[in-house]
């Protein structure tokens, strides 16, 4: 029986798919592309907007992920639909790790790199920066293999689903490492604003969870064994003595272990455990990336309009992501502070709140997360490399088999298609 994806993971967006194809080999993927006027790859469906929408979906779920260690243990190649959780299980057996993970391990690698999905850490690039090779079926049904350093490689990694069907990825890996995390409660806004750089540098990966209320909130500090021990307090916030959920007050059983106990990188870097669904899915997310030097001013700008959005929030999160050279990465040549919002699932009210946020952040060169909710149009125009990406797409997909309304409007600014 054909399973047709009907909604995204959060059920906040309804796909328009009439059919879904499940090829069981890369050759079959190539055949489908040759025969299809339009085809859209779906990953794990975790994006919150129409980026993965289309008429006919293609899922790689029937292909084996077949992970292979390469380069004397410095790389792993794997089926692109592999989730980071599945990848971590394989890497454990070889005592290897990837450099970072998003807040949950359930997302597919292809979908994550397509949207420049990221974790946190001043020195950690987004997840796409670990990609050193791609196999991608282009619009003419050819399997194109590229590796880092090839012409246009930097344009292909954060691909927004626009260039083809990614069948296999190769990622940089490193020896496994241990991480411990501790949560600090009660950080005051004035302490955060005065010490923002210091707070975000407290560990390998740092998140500040906030409800944009009277106090800034809690700081989640993830440290590797090479960092110092966890102090009892930081900037007036005190170390929690029991596990926390990112949304204060919720049961912490699906959150990863805290309290400063060291464990595997993959059991600490995400906030949510692999074995659990991270929440009930009744949420919408938005996120805006801006140069880190504007961080405190951008937070102050949002504090001045918090009455426009805070009532719709489940929780917000501040993270940092290191600069890279990937053309459509929001971190392209800039270290960012990334300001995330987990909303209640009320799309209309959220859209209105997001417009206020976009306005408040506009002086700070903010760029939206590609996979989350934003209202701005022709975001591609804000990217220095858009024209090169457009030429790359002309070569990879001249007949626009992989296009959809979201792509044309959000990236290329065309108003020909509706339904964004």
Distance CA(355)–CA(361), nearest Å, equals 10
User: Closest Cα to residue 238, out of 223, 253, 221?
Assistant: 221
Angle between helices 295-303 and 347-361 (to 10 degrees): 130
165 or 405: CB nearest ligand FAD? 165
Query: By CB under 6 A, is residue 230 in contact with ligand FAD?
Result: no
Query: By CB under 6 A, is residue 315 in contact with ligand FAD?
Result: no
The minimum distance between CB 369 and ligand FAD, in angstroms, equals 6
**Residue ranges in 94-137 assigned as alpha helix (H):** 109-114
Query: By CB under 6 A, is residue 118 in contact with ligand FAD?
Result: yes
The minimum distance between CB 370 and ligand FAD, in angstroms, equals 7
- Give the count of residues interacting with ligand FAD (CB under 6 A): 35
Q: Which long-range contacts (CB under 8 A, 24 or more apart) does 376-383 make?
A: 377/409, 377/410, 377/413, 377/420, 378/409, 378/410, 378/411, 378/412, 378/413, 379/410, 379/411, 380/328, 380/410, 380/411, 380/412, 380/413, 381/413, 383/327, 383/328, 383/332
209 or 239: CB nearest ligand FAD? 209
65 or 180: CB nearest ligand FAD? 65
In this structure, the chain runs to a length of 420
Distance CA(167)–CA(145), nearest Å, equals 10
Query: By CB under 6 A, is residue 368 in contact with ligand FAD?
Result: no
Please identify, among the stretches 19-27, 31-39, 40-48, 289-297, the one whose residues bind ligand FAD according to the rule CB under 6 A.
40-48
The minimum distance between CB 194 and ligand FAD, in angstroms, equals 27
Query: By CB under 6 A, is residue 52 in contact with ligand FAD?
Result: yes
Non-local CB neighbours of 305 within 8 Å, separated by 6+ positions:
356, 357, 360
Please identify, among the stretches 38-46, 170-178, 256-264, 302-310, the one whose residues bind ligand FAD according to the rule CB under 6 A.
38-46
Among 23, 105, 111, 133, binds ligand FAD (CB under 6 A): 111
The minimum distance between CB 332 and ligand FAD, in angstroms, equals 15
- How many degrees, rounded to 5, is the angle at CA 160 between CA 295 and CA 174? 70
| Helix, strand, or coil (residue 366) | coil
Q: Which residue in the shown chain puts its C-beta closest to ligand FAD?
A: 111
Distances (CA, A) of 353 to 104, 154, 312, 330, 368: 25, 34, 8, 21, 14
Query: By CB under 6 A, is residue 49 in contact with ligand FAD?
Result: no
Cβ atoms of 214 and 248 within 8 Å: the answer is no
The minimum distance between CB 53 and ligand FAD, in angstroms, equals 9
The minimum distance between CB 198 and ligand FAD, in angstroms, equals 23
Distance CA(399)–CA(391), nearest Å, equals 13
| Helix, strand, or coil (residue 302) | helix
- Which residues 160-199 are close enough to bind ligand FAD by CB under 6 A? 160-161, 165-166
Please identify, among the stretches 15-23, 35-43, 303-311, 329-337, the one whose residues bind ligand FAD according to the rule CB under 6 A.
35-43
Among 30, 32, 50, 60, binds ligand FAD (CB under 6 A): 60
Query: By CB under 6 A, is residue 50 in contact with ligand FAD?
Result: no
Among 36, 77, 115, 122, binds ligand FAD (CB under 6 A): 115
Distances (CA, A) of 236 to 21, 191, 293: 55, 8, 23
Please identify, among the stretches 105-113, 142-150, 216-224, 258-266, the one whose residues bind ligand FAD according to the rule CB under 6 A.
105-113
Distance CA(221)–CA(184), nearest Å, equals 8
Cβ atoms of 218 and 175 within 8 Å: the answer is no
Among 110, 237, 357, 361, binds ligand FAD (CB under 6 A): 110
Distance CA(218)–CA(239), nearest Å, equals 9
Query: By CB under 6 A, is residue 114 in contact with ligand FAD?
Result: yes
The minimum distance between CB 83 and ligand FAD, in angstroms, equals 8
Query: By CB under 6 A, is residue 330 in contact with ligand FAD?
Result: no
Among 20, 39, 41, 298, binds ligand FAD (CB under 6 A): 41
Query: By CB under 6 A, is residue 112 in contact with ligand FAD?
Result: yes
Cβ atoms of 20 and 58 within 8 Å: the answer is yes
Query: By CB under 6 A, is residue 117 in contact with ligand FAD?
Result: yes
- Which residues 251-310 are close enough to bind ligand FAD by CB under 6 A? 278, 285
Cβ atoms of 113 and 136 within 8 Å: the answer is no
For ligand FAD, the binding residues (CB under 6 A) are 9-10, 40-47, 51-52, 60, 80-81, 102-104, 107-108, 110-112, 114-115, 117-118, 160-161, 165-166, 278, 285, 369, 371
């Amino acid at each position: 029986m054909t399973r047709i994806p009907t909604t995204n993971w959060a059920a906040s967006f309804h796909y328009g798919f009439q059919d879904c194809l499940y090829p069981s080999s890369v050759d079959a993927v190539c055949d489908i592309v040759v025969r299809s006027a339009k085809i859209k790859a779906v990953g794990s469906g975790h994006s919150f907007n129409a980026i993965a929408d289309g008429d006919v979906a293609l899922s790689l779920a029937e292909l084996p992920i077949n992970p292979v260690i390469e380069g004397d243990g410095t790389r792993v190649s794997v089926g692109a639909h592999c989730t980071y959780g599945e990848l971590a299980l394989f890497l454990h057996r070889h005592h290897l790790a990837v450099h970072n993970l998003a807040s949950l391990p359930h997302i597919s690698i292809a979908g994550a790199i397509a949207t420049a999905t990221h974790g946190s850490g001043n020195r950690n690039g987004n997840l796409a920066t670990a990609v050193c090779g791609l196999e991608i079926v282009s619009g003419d049904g050819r399997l194109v293999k590229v590796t880092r350093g090839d012409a246009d490689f930097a344009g292909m990694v954060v691909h927004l689903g626009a260039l083809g069907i990614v069948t296999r990825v190769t990622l940089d890996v490193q020896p496994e490492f241990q991480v411990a995390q501790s949560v600090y409660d009660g950080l005051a806004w004035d302490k955060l604003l005065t010490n923002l750089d210091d707070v975000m540098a407290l560990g390998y990966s740092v998140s500040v969870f906030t409800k944009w209320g009277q106090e800034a909130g809690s700081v989640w500090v993830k440290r590797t064994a090479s960092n110092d021990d966890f102090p009892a307090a930081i900037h007036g916030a005190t170390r929690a003595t029991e596990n926390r959920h990112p949304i204060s007050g919720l049961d912490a059983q699906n959150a990863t272990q805290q309290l400063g106990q060291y464990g595997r990188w993959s059991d600490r870097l995400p906030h949510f455990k692999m074995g659990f669904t991270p929440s009930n899915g009744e949420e919408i997310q938005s996120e805006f990336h801006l140069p880190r030097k504007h961080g405190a001013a951008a937070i102050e700008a949002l504090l001045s309009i918090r009455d426009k959005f805070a009532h719709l929030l489940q929780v917000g999160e501040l993270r940092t992501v290191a600069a890279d050279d990937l053309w459509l990465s929001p971190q392209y040549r800039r270290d960012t502070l990334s300001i995330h919002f987990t909303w209640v699932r009320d799309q209309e009210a959220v859209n209105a709140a997001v417009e206020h946020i976009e306005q408040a952040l506009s002086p700070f060169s903010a760029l939206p997360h590609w996979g989350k909710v934003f209202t701005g149009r022709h975001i591609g125009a804000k990217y220095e490399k858009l024209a090169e990406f457009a030429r790359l797409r002309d070569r990879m997909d001249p007949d626009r088999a992989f296009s959809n309304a979201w792509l044309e409007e959000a990236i290329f600014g065309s108003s020909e298609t509706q339904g964004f």
